Amino acid sequence: MATAHRSSHAKQRNRARDSQTGYVQGPLKWAIALTASLGAILEVIDTSIVNVALTDIQATLGATVTEVGWVVTGYAIANVVLIPLSAWLGDVFGKKTYFVFSMVGFTLASVLCGFAVNLPMLVIARILQGLCGGGLLAKAQTILFETFSPEEQGLAQAVFGVGVIAGPAIGPTLGGYLTDTLGWRWIFFINLPIGVLAVVMAVLFLRPDSKQRVNTRRQQSIDWWGIGLLIVAVGGLQTLLEEGEKNDWFESQLITLLAIAAAVSLVLFIIRELSIKAPAVDLRVLRHRSLAAGSVYSGILGMGLYGALFAVPLFAQGVLGFSAMQTGFLLAPGALASAIMMVLLGKISSKVDARLLVGLGAIGTTLVMFDLARITPQSGTEDLFWPLVWRGATTVLMFLPLSLAALGSLPKQDISAGSGFYNLTRQLGGSIGIAILTTLLEQREAFHKSILLAKLTPYNLQTTQRLDALTALFQSRGFDATTAHHQAIASLEQLINTQSAILSYADIFRFVGIIFLCSLPLLFFLGKGGARAKAPIAH
């Protein structure tokens, strides 16, 4: 009886503290953290899981390479459009209601993707999936900031960050395995059990919405102009980034029109959102210097996080001849290193100046990128293993402290809008990074190839010696003199193509490293990642 009495008093004290601080106490907060993180992990993994299955999808649905690309592009456009609107939608419908709705919608859209019988059905389902997924990432981070006290934010954001950091590496691994063993439809069906679990947990564990606050927000007029301008601005920019390389950028009239429409709409959107009382996206949160600087840095982090992970699989498959599954296993140790580092850093990140950790991460990532730039035609798994492991670890040194520095000091009423903008910049940063690196890769490969070909003349002693040696080699294998000579020339051209590709990949690894090095001055504008305002949260 005495034990039960003490337990009752302890529960009352916890409830009293919860009411006073607005933070959840006891095991419930970790159940909420797991719930929010499940939603974020699903969204991030589905950004990259489809990439390795595009060839199989193309063959099954009878689509062209350009057409099947919209399976990825449609998802990305819908995703970035919804991320900045997630704060407004959470206010209008309630944070819990909106998160549960997004999770249900994402799961159902995944099933539709799996049952798609033609390409239009698959693209529409992917757009629906992206629209629902856009509400999961930013809202999950908001839920964690509003659930945990400042002292516990490091561990809470570490749980969230494991999925966001490891997701881009897990996606291709899981996608390759499912595609090779069960078929491409299972990369979507796999979301069903996880999605159902996340929905049940969200219903049980997330705190109920405040009806008074939701009703107050609903009474305000809807900013339809702001929403429309946002769709054109962000959607146009994302489409431009996804399709620009395929259409020779501004050589294409479509890309030029998209750029003009995105730029004009963005200017009008900013003017609109800063001039009305209840905007769809509250840009006024950028008055917080730590959020503004953190968002810029988040874009750079997106370039490094997604850009480097974009380049490594291309190199492994295009130059080393790896399969999709082999490439996935190549990336897996780095993802594991990220997860371990995230947990370790979560315990100390709230006690250490975030700027110091971000700076160490940027310098560490720069060194890793320059190490990757030392690749040669003989490079293999053993040469890439440790650089990719260190890349996984150093990226975490930036990701977790940067989230705390950018969002940790915001007033609670600004966290939702700030989180949406912060996550948007990372997503767009990834898209911009991939677009830049794709174009740079093509240009540098052409540049190096032209230099190597210039040396391939009958007057170059090394060239003639190499050609004679290759001709003799093919003759020893039974080819006649003429055929052996042609085979030797083809072999020499292949060597030039391989060498120019390796040199171009080295260039873009160095480019990413230089970008991180140049980002260091932004540290002076970041916050230290200290405690936030401790006023109770309105629900």
Task: Annotate 297-312 with three-state secondary structure.
Answer: HHHHHHHHHHHHHHHH
CA–CA distance, 119 with 122 (Å, rounded to integer): 5
Exposure of 246 by Cβ count < 10 A (0-12 exposed, 13-18 middle, 19+ buried)?
middle
Q: 409 to each of 290, 415, 450, 526, how far by Cα in Å?
A: 8, 9, 52, 10
In the chain, the percentage of residues whose pLDDT exceeds 70 is 84
State whether residue 353 is helix, strand or coil: coil
Q: Tokens 């210039």: give the residue.
A: 454
207 in Cβ contact with 24 (< 8 Å)? yes
* Range 95-102 average pLDDT: 88
Determine the pLDDT at residue 328: 72
Determine the pLDDT at residue 264: 92
Determine the pLDDT at residue 109: 94
The yes-or-no verdict on residue 79 having pLDDT over 70 is yes
User: pLDDT (tens digit, 9 = 90+) per residue, 387-434?
Assistant: 888 888 888 888 778 887 888 777 877 887 888 888 888 878 877 777
Residues 107, 112, 114, 120, CA torsion sign: negative
- SS percent in the chain: helix, strand, coil, step 5: 80, 0, 20
Determine the pLDDT at residue 106: 93
Q: Which domains does the chain carry?
A: 22-220 (1.20.1250.20), 447-503 (no CATH)
Determine the pLDDT at residue 105: 93
- Spell out a b/e string for 200-230, using b for 16 or more CB atoms within 10 Å of the CB, else e: ebbeebbbebeeeebeeeeeeeebeebbebb
User: pLDDT (tens digit, 9 = 90+) per residue, 217-274?
Assistant: 555 667 788 888 888 888 888 788 777 777 778 778 888 898 898 899 889 988 888 8
In the chain, the percentage of residues whose pLDDT exceeds 90 is 7
| Most confident of the following: 242-251, 349-358, 499-508 | 499-508
The two three-digit tokens of residue 412, written as one number:
């609670």
Determine the pLDDT at residue 434: 76
**What are the backbone dihedrals phi and psi of residue 181, each rounded to the nearest 5 degrees, phi first?**
-100, -45
pTM (predicted TM-score):
0.73
| Most confident of the following: 185-199, 331-345, 407-421 | 185-199
Residue type, 337: A
Q: Tokens 């479509």: give the residue.
A: 254
User: pLDDT (tens digit, 9 = 90+) per residue, 439-472?
Assistant: 888 888 888 888 877 766 666 666 676 666 767 7
CA–CA distance, 378 with 362 (Å, rounded to integer): 28
Exposure of 404 by Cβ count < 10 A (0-12 exposed, 13-18 middle, 19+ buried)?
buried
Question: Which of residues 293 and 314 earns the better pLDDT score?
Answer: 293
Residue type, 414: D
Determine the pLDDT at residue 456: 67
